A and B are shown apart, each in its own frame.
Chain A
Amino acid sequence: MRALLVLFAAFFLMGQRDAILVPAVSQDEVQVRQGFTGTELLLYGAILDPRGQRGGAEYDIVVVLKGATEPITIREKDRIGGVWMNAQSSDFRSAPSFFAVAASRPVEEIVDERTAAIYELGTEFIQLSPTGQIDPEKQARFAAGLVDLRQRLGLYNEDMSGVTINEQVLYQARIQLPSNVITGEYTAETFAIFDGRVIASAIAEVEVRKVGFERLVEVFSQRFALLYGLLAVGLSVSMGWIAGRLFAMI
Chain B
Amino acid sequence: MEDILPVYLPIANLSVNGFLIVLLGAVTGVLSGLFGVGGGFLTTPLLIFYGIPPTVAAASASTQVTGASVSGVLAHSRRGGVDYRMGAVTVGGGIFGAIIGAVLFRLLQAVGQIDIVINILYVMMLGAIGGLMLQEALVTMRSGGETTRKVRKRRHHPVIAALPMRWRFYRSGLYISPLAPFFLGFIVGILTMLMGVGGGFILVPAMLYILGMSGNVVVGTSLFQILFVTMATTMMHALTTQAVDIVLAGLLLLGSVIGAQFGTQIAMKAKPEVLRFVLAAIVLAVALRMLVGLAVQPDEIFTVAPL
Chain A residues within 8 Å of B, Cβ to Cβ: 32-38, 70-79, 82-86, 89, 91, 95, 142, 145-146, 148-150, 152, 179-180, 182, 210, 213-215, 217-218, 221-222, 225-226, 228-233, 235-237, 239-244, 247
Contact = CB atoms under 8 A, between A and B. Distances in A.
A15 B135 CA distance: 87
A236 B238 contact: no
- Which of A70, A78, A86, A239 is packed against the most chain B CB atoms within 10 Å? A239
A233 B246 contact: no
A235 B246 contact: yes
B122 to A, nearest CB: 13
Nearest to B231: A233
A217 B306 CA distance: 22
B254 interface: yes
Contacts of B254: 239
A72 B307 contact: yes
A140 B137 CA distance: 54
B63 A233 contact: yes
Given A77-B303, A244-B70, A247-B261, A218 B10 contact: yes
B8 A146 contact: no
A218 B15 CA distance: 15
A82 B305 CA distance: 24
Contacts of B261: 243-244, 247
Interface of B: 2-3, 6-8, 10-11, 13-15, 63-64, 66-71, 74-75, 112-113, 115-116, 120, 231, 234-235, 237-239, 242, 244, 246-247, 249-250, 253-254, 257-258, 260-261, 294-298, 300-307
A193 to B, nearest CB: 32
- Which of B10, B120, B298 is packed against the most chain A CB atoms within 10 Å? B10
Contacts of A91: 307
Contacts of B304: 72-75, 95, 146, 149-150
A92 B4 CA distance: 39
B238 A35 contact: no
A180 B13 contact: yes
A150 B296 CA distance: 22
Contacts of A75: 112, 302-305
Contacts of A237: 66-67, 70, 231
A217 B10 contact: yes
B86 to A, nearest CB: 21
B113 A85 contact: yes
A33 B246 contact: no
Q: Lowest 8 CB-CB distances: which A-B pairs, in order? A: A229-B238, A240-B70, A244-B71, A179-B15, A145-B302, A243-B257, A236-B67, A240-B67
Contact of A34 (B8, B244, B246): B8
A36 B11 CA distance: 14
17 contacts: A75-B112, A85-B116, A86-B116, A86-B303, A179-B15, A218-B11, A226-B235, A228-B244, A229-B237, A229-B238, A232-B234, A236-B253, A237-B70, A237-B231, A241-B71, A244-B71, A244-B257
Nearest to A212: B10
A228 B59 CA distance: 13
A242 B3 CA distance: 30
Nearest to B238: A229
B2 A37 contact: yes
Contacts of B71: 240-241, 243-244, 247
Contacts of B250: 235, 239
A162 to B, nearest CB: 23
Nearest to B114: A86
Given A217-B246, A217-B247, A233 B66 contact: yes
Contacts of A236: 63-64, 66-67, 70, 234, 249, 253
B56 to A, nearest CB: 11
A182 B306 CA distance: 13
B303 A221 contact: no
A242 B250 CA distance: 14
Contact of B302 (A76, A83, A215, A231): A76
Given A229-B238, A229-B239, A36 B8 contact: yes
Given A36-B8, A146-B304, A231-B246, A179 B14 contact: yes
